[in-house]
Amino acid sequence: GRGGDLAGRHVVVSAGGTREAIDPVRFIGNRSSGLQGYALARTAVARGAEVTLVSANVALPDPAGAKMVRVESATQLREAVLAAAEHADAVVMAAAVADFRPVRQSGTKIKKSAAEPDPIHLTKNPDILAELGETRRAGGGTYPRVIVGFAAETDDVLANGRAKLERKGCDLLVVNQVGENLAFGTPDNAAVVLTAEGESVEIPRGPKEDLADVVWNLVVRRLP
């Protein structure tokens, strides 16, 4: 292992992408593969952590030694993460959470008809990452000890990332540059990790496991 520097720690990782049901057979989803979140879970197990992996619609083998919680929608992911986060040392939100969900789900499969289809009305999902920070502030600032967000940005990566870190009140924000065959569904990732103190740590393009290890290094530094 890597010295077991997460031994005795409980960490929560969310991974994958949520699905928001339209009817019993259709959903609004995204292209997240879960690779980065699963790499985070595997490396945390290897470093000695007790790991809860909240997994949304991922087609990858379960990481050995992680406690799996399977969810589908943002609502379910929120419940699972908030419950697991209560006494967690760290929560890493690597999942791609849908920003919106259909206002209502049809209980039966929507039929094709001669008329124009009905529009699908959307409503906002809660921001789970922001809620973790708010809950921590309300509870006196202790748990979870470290809150980590991910952000995929296409332009003004650093400025947008910095604003997002502040808006969401997280301790670390891993900012991915998307596009150019990076990030989604690929084994490699390149990123900058922004810290609440204003540092930025560049992670060169490489395996998602390497990025995961850098994230855990930065988490370990923040743990008492």
> Per CB under 6 A, does 17 bind ligand C5P?
no
Q: How far apart are CB 121 and ligand C5P at their closest, in Å?
A: 18
Q: Nearest CA to 127 among 69, 183, 72, 167?
A: 167
Find the binder of ligand C5P among 41, 51, 95, 218 (CB under 6 A). 95
Asked if residues 78 and 127 have their Cβ atoms less than 8 Å apart, the reply is no
Alpha-carbon distance values, 24 to 16, 19, 38, 74, 111 (Å)? 21, 12, 28, 16, 12
The one segment of 34-42, 49-57, 146-154, 207-215 that binds ligand C5P by CB under 6 A: 146-154
Please give the distance of CA 21 from its chain centroid, rounded to a whole number: 20
Angle between helices 128-138 and 74-85 in degrees, nearest 10: 30
Task: Lay out the site mask for ligand C5P across 149-168 (x = CB under 6 A, - = otherwise).
Answer: xxx-----------------
Q: Nearest CA to 148 among 211, 91, 193?
A: 91
Q: How many residues bind ligand C5P (CB under 6 A)?
A: 12
Residues between 111 and 130 that touch ligand C5P (CB under 6 A): 125, 127-129
Q: Which is nearer to ligand C5P, 62 or 131 (CB)?
A: 131
176 is catalytic: no
Q: Which is nearer to ligand C5P, 45 or 93 (CB)?
A: 93
> Per CB under 6 A, does 38 bind ligand C5P?
no
- Is 62 annotated as contributing to ligand binding? no
- Is 210 annotated as contributing to ligand binding? no
Q: Which is nearer to ligand C5P, 160 or 217 (CB)?
A: 160
Tokens (6 digits) for 102:
């259909």
Asked if residues 207 and 42 have their Cβ atoms less than 8 Å apart, the reply is no
The one segment of 1-9, 28-36, 89-97, 105-113 that binds ligand C5P by CB under 6 A: 89-97
Q: How far apart are CA 218 and CA 6, in angstroms?
A: 12
Q: Nearest CA to 91 among 151, 181, 18, 13?
A: 13
- Is 129 annotated as contributing to ligand binding? yes
- Is 128 annotated as contributing to ligand binding? yes
Burial of 19 (0-12, 13-18, 19+ CB in 10 A): buried
Helix or strand run (H / E) with residue 3: none
Find the binder of ligand C5P among 44, 56, 93, 175 (CB under 6 A). 93
Catalytic (active-site) positions: 30
* Residues of each annotated binding site: 99, 109, 126-129, 150, 164, 168
Residues lying near ligand C5P in the complex (CB under 6 A): 74, 93, 95, 97, 99, 125, 127-129, 149-151
* Residues of each annotated binding site for CTP: 99, 109, 126-129, 150, 164, 168
